[in-house]
Structure formats: structure tokens, C-alpha cells
Structure 1
């Protein structure tokens, strides 16, 4: 659902906020990069799709007018930057700088929309693991899943996860190992 807009040179982006990230439409990126064809960015993506992850691009069904819905390709800020890396237009270099500046601002924003329930679940899971010598496979798997949910559903700051891990000294290395194993699986 569009919430606000950004501008690059003469192009006004309608931002789509999804999964607590900002996404840009392929059509808006094409305009910003100076392409005449509206599907130029989609063509760039299709030629280089093996370099994009699922966190960089998606397709959405959006209402166009009345009951008509169209499929729209959207890109995260990282995905938009990668598109600009493949672009050979004169605006591409400036666009790359601009999108990185926007990304930097997003990263530095206070994390006000965190999911406190998930964070509390992670704290309780860490406490359970740190209090027991022997954990079952299911308990360790549940902890890994809690980290996955935190990462996916909440814009939790890395330092909060770090604080959570280090607050349980007796099993800190064990919990950190589980978290790092989750990180490797996500990438």
C-alpha cells in the first residue's frame, strides 16, 4: 500500500511499504533511469534474474481502476540499486548514489515498529537455553525459528539481537552459534 513518495530528479516515486521495507515499482525506476519503454527495467531484471534474491524483487497484484487488477514488479532499494548497476543510461550513476542515500536513511531510522511479542519470545527462548545444559533438537530449532520470525516480521536492530545474545553469558556462545547458523541459512 503506497504511503508516501520520494523524488529523484524529475521522477516522483510512489513508495510501497511491504515487509517493513520500501519498494519501488519497475515503471518508476525505468522513468528515473531515463528509459522510454515502461518495461525496460523488467527486461533488465529478466536478463539478470540469477543475480537477484527474493528479498530484492517481487510481483504484486494492484488495483488499477475499478475491478481491474494488474501485476506490478517491485524492487527493494537493494534491488533498485542492482538494476541501476546493469543500466547503461546517463542517469544510472546518479540514481545509484541516490538510492544508496535513501537506503542509508532507512537503516538509520529509529526502529519503532518492532514486534514486542516476537522479541519477548526470543528473550524467553534464550533464557530457557541458557538455564539448561542439554537442549533437545526441537528446542534449538524453535530458537532458530524465533530468530527467523524476528528477522522477517520485525525491523529489529542488530544491536538488540546482540544485546539479547550477550545477556545470557552461560550459553551465549551456544545461542550465538544458533543465531549465526540461522543467518547462514537465510543468505
Structure 2
């Protein structure tokens, strides 16, 4: 585990929250709306990049993956020549934003930094943090609703399921309920599932699974269709409905971006959960 410590900062408390040490580097934290944020320069330092522009390039290449709750530009006071200070536009990242930057990073220390951000940074800062869900725009909610269920949106944004429902109700203008009728597994959908998992059973799952977790299957649907003949798999529109009803392995998340354990970069996948004792797909 990386060594870490905290120290109160005696400077401008409206900007600086505390300093932390990660892998021998002192990082200056920023507070915004009661949340912990970090500058591009400090993230670059933590990820062992010599040039802060490496983080800027990562963000620019993957900007569509970041929400307003993950990154923003603020004016920070910086020390100038002599005793003078000046304000400078600076891009900062929340804890979720720091984690996503590290998911795209290719340095050796990136994995340790991801763990540190999630497991240590938000618990070990000496100054208490106001635990409020980050502000999310209407456009963000609409984008999430196209690919996530209500529980998934709640987990991703840090809101309660009822808060998600209320937000969608305000945007869409129609009542939403926590309990919806369970989707029905029709013979057509069951056949689509059988086709899909039957084809997967003929393949080497190790070459298709982008997750490094033993109990997960993270599958890129387009990759599967590239391997199959047209008659071997159902229409994608039908399959996407059927996969949400998959029980063995159990459907977990749709159309989500992860850091692929196969190709070493981000990949959009569907995630399923299998039991720890399940070693093959041939039985599903």
C-alpha cells in the first residue's frame, strides 16, 4: 500500500483543503461545493507524468466520458513574481474524475492511484467534507437514462433512487415509480438469449471477457457480432432487450465503459455476473 498522510493547509481555505502525500509526491487538494477536487498538475504528478499536458490530452481524447460532476474549470489563485498573486483558469477533477483519468492512464502507478483515490483519499482528509450529491445537469440525466437503470444511475451519481426518480420526473414531466412491472421473458426473447449464450459457448471466453474480475463477464457486443455469421445471432435490437433478462450469467450493467483487461484501454461493454464456481459459459 502506498504511504499517505494529511496536513492542514494554512493558505486560502476557500481554495485549498489539505495536502496529501501519494507515492512521495505532495498533492494540493481543492474544495468546491464541499467536495474534494484535484488539479491536472497534481494528477499528472501522482500518475508519474513529466508533463501536465499528458492529463490534459487524456481528458481531451475522452471528454465525452466526463460529466460536469467530474471536471470543471475554476479560477485558482497562484503565486506570481515577487510577492504578487494572480488568478488563473485551472481545470480540476473530482474524485470520480481523478479515477476516470487514471483508468485511461498508461503509467505503472495508475492502478495504485485508482485504489488510493477510491479507498483512501475520501476518508483520510482531515477536514470534514460535506456529503452532498454533486450537481447534475438535465442533459446529464437524459444521457444516463438512455443506457442505465434507475439503480445504476443512483450508484453512479451518488444519489438515492428516489432522487433519481424525482430528477427524471422533473425533466421528462411524467410520473415515475420505484416499482415497475417486471419485464416478461417471451419465447422470442428466450430464443435470442439461447442464441447469444450458445454462440459464446463455442468461443474462448478468455478472449472476449474484458473484466479482470473472476465473477464478472464484460463483453463487447459488437466484437461478438464480428466473430459470428449473420444467422448465428439475433437482431441487436432484440438481443439488447433479451440480455437485460439474462439470469445465468446474471445481467448487471448495460453499455458501460471500463478499462479493458484485454486491450489495456477503455472499452464499452455489457457486464454480467457469474458465480465464483462457474468456470465456463457452456453450461449457461
Shift of 1:70: 1.4
* Gap change, CA 1:20 and 1:39, over 3 Å in 2: same
* CA–CA distance in structure 1, aligned partners of residues 21 and 73 of structure 2: 22
Residue 39 of structure 2 aligns with which residue? 25
Structure number with greater CO (CA < 8 Å, separation at least 6) is 1
Query: How many residues in Structure 1 have an aligned counterpart in Structure 2?
Result: 127
* CA–CA distance in structure 2, aligned partners of residues 15 and 182 of structure 1: 33
* Gap change, CA 1:4 and 1:104, over 3 Å in 2: closer
* CA–CA distance in structure 2, aligned partners of residues 76 and 152 of structure 1: 10
Deviations 1:121-143, CA, capped at 9 Å, x for gaps: xxxxxxxxxxxxxxxxxxxxxxx
* Gap change, CA 1:86 and 1:69, over 3 Å in 2: same
Residue 56 of structure 2 aligns with which residue? 42
* CA–CA distance in structure 1, aligned partners of residues 168 and 85 of structure 2: 43
Residue 102 of structure 2 aligns with which residue? 84
Shift of 1:9: 0.6
Residue 67 of structure 2 aligns with which residue? 53
Q: Which residue, out of 93, 98, 109, partners 1:75?
A: 93
Shift of 1:32: 0.8
* CA–CA distance in structure 1, aligned partners of residues 41 and 58 of structure 2: 12
* CA–CA distance in structure 1, aligned partners of residues 23 and 88 of structure 2: 27
Structure 1: gaps (5+ residues): 115-149, 154-175
* Gap change, CA 1:45 and 1:69, over 3 Å in 2: same
Residue 117 of structure 1 aligns with which residue? none
Residue 14 of structure 1 aligns with which residue? 28
Deviations 1:78-137, CA, capped at 9 Å, x for gaps: 10000000000011011111111135527xx987x58xxxxxxxxxxxxxxxxxxxxxxx
For normalisation by structure 1, the TM-score amounts to 0.58
* Runs of 4 or more consecutive aligned structure 1 residues displaced over 3 Å after TM superposition: 150-153, 176-180, 183-186
* Gap change, CA 1:184 and 1:3, over 3 Å in 2: same
Structure 2: gaps (5+ residues): 1-14, 136-159, 171-284
Superposed CA RMSD: 3.1
Residue 11 of structure 2 aligns with which residue? none
Structure of higher CA gyration radius: 2
* CA–CA distance in structure 1, aligned partners of residues 103 and 75 of structure 2: 27
* CA–CA distance in structure 1, aligned partners of residues 27 and 121 of structure 2: 14
More helix by share: 1
Deviations 1:30-71, CA, capped at 9 Å, x for gaps: 011011112211110011000000000011111223253211
